[in-house]
A = this chain, B = another copy of it.
Amino acid sequence: MVAYEKIKKIPYGGDYNPEQWPEETWEEDMRILKLAHIDTVTLNVFSWASLQSDDDVYHFEKLDKIIDLVTAHGMKICLATSTGAHPAWMARKHPDILRVEHNGMKRKFGGRHNSCPNSPTYRKYAPALAAKLAERYKKYDNIVAWHISNEYGGECYCENCEKKFREWLKEKYKTIDEVNRVWDTAFWGHTFYDFEDVVLPNLLSEHMDDTRSCFQGISLDYKRFNSESILNAYRLEYDAIHAITPDIPITTNLMGTFFGLDYQMWGKYMDFISWDNYPANDTPISSTALRHDLMRGLKQGKPFALMEQTPSVQNWQPFNMLKRPGVMRLWSYQAIAHGADTVLFFQMKRSVGACEKYHGAVIDHAGHENTRVFREVTALGAELEKLGSQTLGARSDAKAAIVFDWDNWWAISYSSGPSIYLDYCREVEQYYKALFDRNIPVDMIGVEDDLSRYDLVIAPMLYMVKTGYDEKIRAYVKEGGRFLTTCFSGYVDEHDLVTIGGYPGKLRDILGIWVEEEDALPENLHNRFHYHGNTYPASLLCDLLHTEGAETLASYEEDFYAGMPVLTKNAFGKGFGYYVATQSSDEFYRDYLEEICEEADIQPIMDTPDGVEVTRRINQNGVFVFLLNHREEPYVTALPFAGEDLLGGKIYKAGDALVLEKKDVAIIKLK
């Protein structure tokens, strides 16, 4: 986490780019930011070009001034390394730094996220700059974190990456025979005799589009290779900095459910997680919550930094609605409620040019403090100051977990059949939402994470069961755990090679079933089933399965497989394996997970209507219950526990009426 012992409250501020403005305006910025109780600024995010004008020519004078300026005003600094976009001169002089696109075209200078991760030039100059920055500014004790590059992403298909991919394969698989085996190259006669025969999978080789590939195994390995290549570039900077300032934590800003990078692997190499939360205009609140929990899970529940959010509007949505009054505050607290220990914005001040000039900022183009947005920012700043350090470091105590795995996501996305409508994230969100709506805390975990602390583990569409993961699940269930999975699970190993013998492969004994066939339905067609007095739809994919020890809880009612099981429950050791053989409705997931949670004695924090979110965080200072009213009307309840509202200041006895105005928040520190 941000070194918040230096700040002793929730850091408040965000990206500040005075280098885009005349120096004579900086003091006025300071005056305004101080008004808003800003105490932390992220500096130097995109200045590589101005910091380095030639191979060995660096210019730190302006950055010196900026750092001195904010330091003089008592602010903490999150110092970026500026390597998110390389200088134009570097692209011209060292074109190896430019990427090649999925369509095979070599790029020219432009944009950001533009460096080939395997470029020798990039791998030389990016860490060199990071080291110079660390060396130069290590003396500033108000630097609370390092911020490497920015929103890493993208892919490269250049010749250099192709060479590195071959090396990566050789390192991983040792022999070309093993490569042939794991990619099943006997199919379509793709047998390789030499690593040199391997080419990158793109539109010129194995791909028909972004996700349709002739060889899923090749595409999957490229995805891993690319994620690791970029991670390695990050790590070069990390190592350079860490050697000089070992006590300042290092991060880079992630982006939630970002398809391109395996954030679970990345998390291992970050001192703390930070991420940029930009819900679209119509993103459900449960989806935002899921992403907060997913980011928190990358470091096993350690609090994270909300590195970016907009004070008001975005600029890249098709239409960019204003955040309504109160929403910026509400969503800031939603982040905290899910484990954030910072509230940071992109951006302090709107630029006058280029593609983000209409993205919201604390200081608008009007240039002064007399705006609605500024008043809301200021009010939140004052409130956070008052809140102080109480919640810092607090963690969740979830007894339910949902498994999310990037490799699995990639593999499902690449699958040719049974349906292009398979959507891993949507599938996960459906289960998450069912628990979210019941105010049941959830941890989003990866396949390397420990299961034993949970009473319920849900792994929606666990298509890929990596070597050993079935063992982990088996041990967990044997010891009394509850494990639920769904259709399209257990098909393949980590190479996307099918586990022979019957689906769901290595999960069959745990679930006590055999899936013989799966029927992919068009969007307008549904089967259905009855369960506990209700009828639910069966959509998208309907497994035709046989129990092998499991109990059948519900069966299909239509089509030629009417009567075959759709919900099963298998006693296995001291625990249970649950199987949901199709996709159903929000109502089904809510009802069914409520039942399973009751069986597992997993209790909601409290009962609230839809749109009133409740979470809990715990630290050495106590237990904090967050209540967030996302609705358009007030919420009134009898509080089921005693405590003090850290925001409103009111003291409640159990049973006292609590009133939350629309968009309002309460943080009840339990008695």
**A residues within 8 Å of B by Cβ?**
17, 19-20, 46-50, 53-54, 82, 84-89, 91-92, 101, 103-112, 182-194, 196-201, 203-207, 212-217, 281, 312-322, 324-325, 350-359, 364-367, 371-373, 415-421, 495-503, 514, 516-522, 544, 560
Contacts and interface: CB of A to CB of B under 8 A. Distances in A.
A185 B47 CA distance: 10
Contacts of A110: 199, 201, 204-207, 214-215
Nearest to A314: B417
Contacts of A312: 517
Interface centre among A325, A367, A418, A496 (most CB of B within 10 A): A418
A85 B190 contact: yes
Contacts of A188: 46, 84-85, 111-112, 354
Nearest to A503: B365
Contacts of A516: 364, 366, 371-372
Nearest to A197: B88
A87 B372 CA distance: 63
Given A112-B214, A193-B89, A20 B353 contact: no
A531 to B, nearest CB: 24
22 contacts: A20-B187, A47-B186, A50-B186, A87-B191, A88-B197, A88-B199, A91-B197, A92-B196, A104-B108, A108-B199, A109-B197, A109-B199, A110-B206, A110-B215, A112-B188, A112-B214, A183-B354, A313-B520, A319-B418, A319-B419, A319-B420, A372-B544
A186 B205 CA distance: 38
Contacts of A185: 49, 354
Given A189-B47, A204-B107, A497 B353 contact: yes
A542 B206 CA distance: 45
Copies in the complex: 3
Contact of A316 (B107, B205, B367, B417): B417
Given A373-B517, A416-B355, A205 B109 contact: yes
Given A46-B188, A85-B190, A367-B501, A354 B319 contact: no
Contact of A353 (B183, B314, B315, B517): B183
Given A184-B354, A205-B110, A353-B498, A418 B320 contact: yes
Nearest 9 CB-CB pairings of A with B: A184-B353, A315-B417, A110-B205, A358-B417, A187-B354, A88-B197, A49-B191, A319-B520, A46-B189
A571 to B, nearest CB: 24
A25 to B, nearest CB: 9
Contacts of A108: 104, 199-200, 204-205
A111 B203 CA distance: 10
B214 A111 contact: yes
Contacts of A325: 560
B417 A500 contact: no
A204 B98 CA distance: 10
A664 to B, nearest CB: 15
B50 A353 contact: no
B501 A366 contact: yes
A416 B521 contact: no
A655 to B, nearest CB: 34
Nearest to A217: B353
B111 A355 contact: no
Contacts of A522: 281, 318-319, 321
Nearest to A109: B199
A663 to B, nearest CB: 11
Contact of A355 (B48, B196, B214, B324): B214
Contacts of A86: 189
Contacts of A315: 416-418
A316 B416 contact: yes
Given A103-B105, A313-B418, A319-B421, 8 more contacts: A17-B187, A20-B184, A110-B201, A217-B353, A313-B517, A358-B415, A365-B500, A366-B502
A366 B514 contact: yes
A37 to B, nearest CB: 22
Contacts of A54: 193
B324 A560 contact: yes
Contact of A321 (B193, B214, B521): B521
B109 A352 contact: no
Contact of A354 (B82, B111, B215, B281): B215
A90 to B, nearest CB: 9
Contacts of A359: 417
Nearest to A505: B365
A418 B216 contact: no
B186 A322 contact: no
A365 B217 contact: no
